[in-house]
Structure 1
Amino acid sequence: MLPSTRRALLQRVAVGQRDGRAPSLVGAVVRDGSLVWCGSRSMIEGHAPDADTQYRIGSLTKSFVAVLVMRLRDEGLIDLADPLSRHLPETTAPSRPGSAADLGGTGLDADGLRAAGRLTVAQLLSHTSGIASETPGPWWERTPGDLRPELADVLGADPVKHPAGRRYHYSNPGFALLGALVERLRGTHWYEALRAEVLEPLGMSRTTLLPQAPAAGGFAVHPWADVMRPEAVQDTGLMAPAGQLWSTAGDLARWAAFLTDGRAGVLGEATLEEMRRPAAPPEDPGGGYGLGLQLGQYGKRRLSGHTGSMPGFLATLWVSPQERVGAIVLANATSGPQVGTIAADLLAITADAEPVLPPAWRPADSLPPELLELAGPWYWGTNAYALRVHADGGLSLGPLTGSGRAARFHVEHNGTGDTWIGREGYYAGERLRPVRRPDGSLSHLDLGSFVFTREPYDPAAPVPGGFPGWS
């Protein structure tokens, strides 16, 4: 990186640590899949943490659990539309008096567990299940997990606060349920599945369930006085999938690279792109939530990743896949430093000062004539569109002037002739199909039943309702 960029990054970390009154703060930047900068500030002169110092990452844990769930989906073991009860039979438990004794709760708790069983995997991943934000008391982040030995104990008698699928309502117990889902289908503790299936392949040896030295201690800093006290560390048990993990800037740099490009054998880029799509609107403007990933809007920049907090710790990881840049910020304070904003600033400083160089344009070695025949102007009624054919065999369709529905399409080989599937916007998931006349000549394009013709309302094409021509 340029010295001026490094200086600007370190200055932002220093200001963030000072203004946030954090005992320590680490920032890191990832570009093109590699850690390219890491800097830190500490209250102790000459004793700043480095990229190998562990911090608790709180709800960033949810992004790891979500990847495990999406792996199950990609393997065909679950469908995102499955109700939880299909895989966790205990969520269909009857609520007769005394029937919930083996669930570690009351009959009412069994009702709560059964209500959760009707929720889908996708609703839990996207926080649209309507489940309560937190467990019944006591405060789960600050108490031992053995106070909640059964799933019924993390839900309570009345866990569903909103109709499922109707609104975004962040839920920590929802991810406890997803962790239980992973354990049931993998036959092992969710962290062991994570370690074997994700962490080891990505080289993330410093991401653990409990802290391993060197690790930062967590502190509560008095909001109105410059004093602080250590925070206790609790093992949260069944609630661990909501926020238990510890990690380092170095390991999270690998995670940021993975969330940008995917990794063969772990999770593909297409699935990660699916996770980044908005599945739920935000509670406040400027964000949103995908499938286990938070979405952020920072100026014109769209970010994805996750924030996290636990007593004594704050964390944020943001990536901008289009710019191939990511940023991580870790702090050991219960509150104070605005880690989400600092991480977005680190990403913006890098991307603006040293914008990514796009890959060189290269032509295709060859393209089949029937594909090249599709290129050029088309008309949707009287609206002019251009269809472009790309070197990888994909297509893009967009209006020649003004605004309108534009989309990219990827090829689908279905055994009966090529069609193309929309990747974004209005036409996402819709099929674009060239229609030919009996003599093999190209008649028109069918896009979700819309007819695109070579001339405006071409009378030779089967435009519904007919068209008499322009003469």
Structure 2
Amino acid sequence: MALDPSTTRALDHRLAVEQSEQRLPSVAAGLVRDGRLVWSGAAGTLNGRSDGPPADAGTQYRIGSITKTFVAVEVLRLRDEGRLDLGDAVSRHVPDAPQGHVTIAQLLSHTSGLQAETSGPWWERVAGGSWADLVASRPELKFRPGARFHYSNVGYAVLGELVARLRQEPWDLAVAGSLLEPLGMGRTSTRPQPPAAEGWGVHPLADVLHVEPEHDAGAMAPAGQFWSTVEDLARWAAFLGGETAGLLAADTLAEMCLPIAVNDVPGAAWTGAHGLGWQVWNVEGTRYAGHGGSMPGFLAGLRVDTATGDGAVVFANGTSGLRQTLIGDLMDTLAEREPLPPSPWSADAEQAASLELVGDWYWGTSGYTLSLSREGHLVLGEPGVARGSRFRPTEYGWVGLDGYHEGETLSVIHDAAGHVSHLDLGSFRFTRTPYDPAADIPGDVHPARWH
């Protein structure tokens, strides 16, 4: 798909404004649609000098905590292989793990309560120690496990060690073999590979630069070690959008993106949450998944519209300055100037088999309309409103996809003549008329009926 030249100019201009107004040595970005990179751009130079080498889509930037998403996907792959359960205490697989009674799911969702950073020096700016060093530092619990969201870099160091123990090789080699190589992400690595951007701190009150250190983070590397490019991270955005190349089941990917823990700030409306390794956002009803990343000298972001698969990646080689609005502005420009065409309507003869289910139904005295969607789902009322839900067909009946009835089974009950008598939804009785006496209403129907 080729974007209209006016769209490309608007995107390039927005990137140039960000680099100029925010005083960033360089910024680079890309947009993904239909599983591929449809636009990329860059502004500025790798060393912040006007005559320096320009950035482009092949330049490596450090992606910080976006590294965690690779670790999380590998953990879920291990789960799907039957090697672990998310409810396992991590000590079951890593006996010397600090606070080993916390569960794998809690570590993935930042609800373990583990301290955010290491007990030693600022780990992002010094050479990292070994796993034994991390264990010896005796990381503490700041909150009761499962009580609340508390972002923990230490927790992902533990998950990296979990991957290493179960794969019997360093976490980064496991991720490279299982994910990076099959996806063709040859420019994603734990250390910079030329051409790579230099990490800079820009003075807040003057136009001068300060070199930021680059190092191997050791045991903390799973929390933020990776470097990547616009081209490579766009492939990871496509993965999040559903183009997983068979490396992760669609149901597992959806499970990872369910909001588990709200990132709550007292006194402010919450704007984001965390799933199993992925950050999730609900922006005026539109759901996004992705992750942000920062390390001294670098900022990065990845975000995907979970409904359409459209995604964006952004990078900067500055310690601060990249506006959180940039990634949204780029995605909005794509959506507004290059709207996705609606799916054409066509008849579905298979729905005829379920026609006797559609129409009005009553749960007690509450009325609902049951309809069929083009995806083949039963739709009870309005999903998310007054216990409205969607249901997908299975060999055991219809299973709820959302709302109050998510995961619950809707069974169709037939009478002796083979006609639909009523619906049983997790023991709730739905009938064609309120309290239909022919539908075996639990608690019976009063002898006087309606009076």
Query: Shorter-chain TM-score: what band?
Result: over 0.9
Q: Note the 1:290-301 alignment, pairs <5 A.
A: 290-301=275-286
User: What root-mean-square deviation, in Å, do the aligned CA atoms of Structure 1 and Structure 2 show?
Assistant: 2.0
Q: Note the 1:9-408 alignment, pairs <5 A.
A: 9-42=11-44, 43=48, 44=50, 47-91=53-97, 113=98, 116-145=99-128, 148-151=129-132, 153=134, 156-284=137-265, 285-338=270-323, 340-367=324-351, 369=353, 371-390=354-373, 393-399=376-382, 403-408=385-390
Over 3 Å counting, the alpha-carbon distance change for 1:459 and 1:243 in structure 2 is same
Distance 2:386 2:361 in 1: 14
Over 3 Å counting, the alpha-carbon distance change for 1:455 and 1:6 in structure 2 is same
Distance 2:351 2:381 in 1: 21
- 8 Å Cα contact 2:392-2:401 kept in structure 1: yes
- 8 Å Cα contact 2:86-2:103 kept in structure 1: yes
- 8 Å Cα contact 2:134-2:219 kept in structure 1: no
**Letter of the 2:104 counterpart:** V
Secondary structure (helix, strand or coil) at the match of 2:159 reads helix
- Which deviations, in whole Å up to 9, do the C-alpha atoms of 1:81-102 show, x marking residues without a partner? 11101111224xxxxxxxxxxx
- 8 Å Cα contact 2:382-2:389 kept in structure 1: no
Distance 2:139 2:74 in 1: 28
**Letter of the 1:34 counterpart:** R
- Which deviations, in whole Å up to 9, do the C-alpha atoms of 1:281-312 show, x marking residues without a partner? 11331111111011224444332100000111
Distance 1:206 1:30 in 2: 18
Quote the residue 2:433 is aligned against. 455
- Aligned-residue offset at 1:392: 5.0
**Letter of the 1:452 counterpart:** F
Count of residue correspondences: 439
Secondary structure (helix, strand or coil) at the match of 2:66 reads helix
Distance 1:324 1:355 in 2: 13
Calculate the TM-score normalised by the size of structure 1. Answer: 0.89
- 8 Å Cα contact 1:40-1:50 kept in structure 2: yes
Distance 1:65 1:276 in 2: 15
Quote the residue 2:444 is aligned against. 466
Distance 2:64 2:100 in 1: 26
Q: Which runs of 5+ in 1 are unaligned?
A: 92-112
Over 3 Å counting, the alpha-carbon distance change for 1:438 and 1:88 in structure 2 is farther
- Aligned-residue offset at 1:158: 4.7
- Which deviations, in whole Å up to 9, do the C-alpha atoms of 1:99-155 show, x marking residues without a partner? xxxxxxxxxxxxxx2xx210111100000000000010111111112xx22256257
- 8 Å Cα contact 1:298-1:344 kept in structure 2: no
- Which deviations, in whole Å up to 9, do the C-alpha atoms of 1:316-360 show, x marking residues without a partner? 01110213211111000111122x321121111111222212322
- 8 Å Cα contact 1:384-1:399 kept in structure 2: no
- 8 Å Cα contact 1:172-1:242 kept in structure 2: yes
- 8 Å Cα contact 1:154-1:173 kept in structure 2: no
**Letter of the 2:220 counterpart:** M
**Letter of the 2:339 counterpart:** P
Secondary structure (helix, strand or coil) at the match of 1:273 reads helix
Secondary structure (helix, strand or coil) at the match of 2:274 reads coil
- Which deviations, in whole Å up to 9, do the C-alpha atoms of 1:212-232 show, x marking residues without a partner? 111111111111111002211
- 8 Å Cα contact 1:323-1:351 kept in structure 2: no
- Aligned-residue offset at 1:256: 0.6
- 8 Å Cα contact 1:217-1:332 kept in structure 2: yes
- 8 Å Cα contact 1:52-1:248 kept in structure 2: yes
- Aligned-residue offset at 1:268: 2.1
- Aligned-residue offset at 1:185: 0.9
- 8 Å Cα contact 1:314-1:334 kept in structure 2: yes
Distance 1:237 1:39 in 2: 33
Secondary structure (helix, strand or coil) at the match of 1:317 reads strand
Secondary structure (helix, strand or coil) at the match of 1:335 reads coil
- Aligned-residue offset at 1:259: 0.1
Distance 1:330 1:130 in 2: 30
Quote the residue 1:436 is aligned against. 414
- Aligned-residue offset at 1:6: 1.6
- Aligned-residue offset at 1:420: 1.6
Distance 1:433 1:161 in 2: 46
- 8 Å Cα contact 1:323-1:355 kept in structure 2: no
Q: Which moved more, 1:372-381 or 1:189-198?
A: 372-381
Distance 1:125 1:119 in 2: 11
**Letter of the 1:470 counterpart:** W
- 8 Å Cα contact 2:280-2:290 kept in structure 1: yes
State percent identity of aligned pairs.
Answer: 50
Over 3 Å counting, the alpha-carbon distance change for 1:460 and 1:350 in structure 2 is same
- Aligned-residue offset at 1:386: 1.9
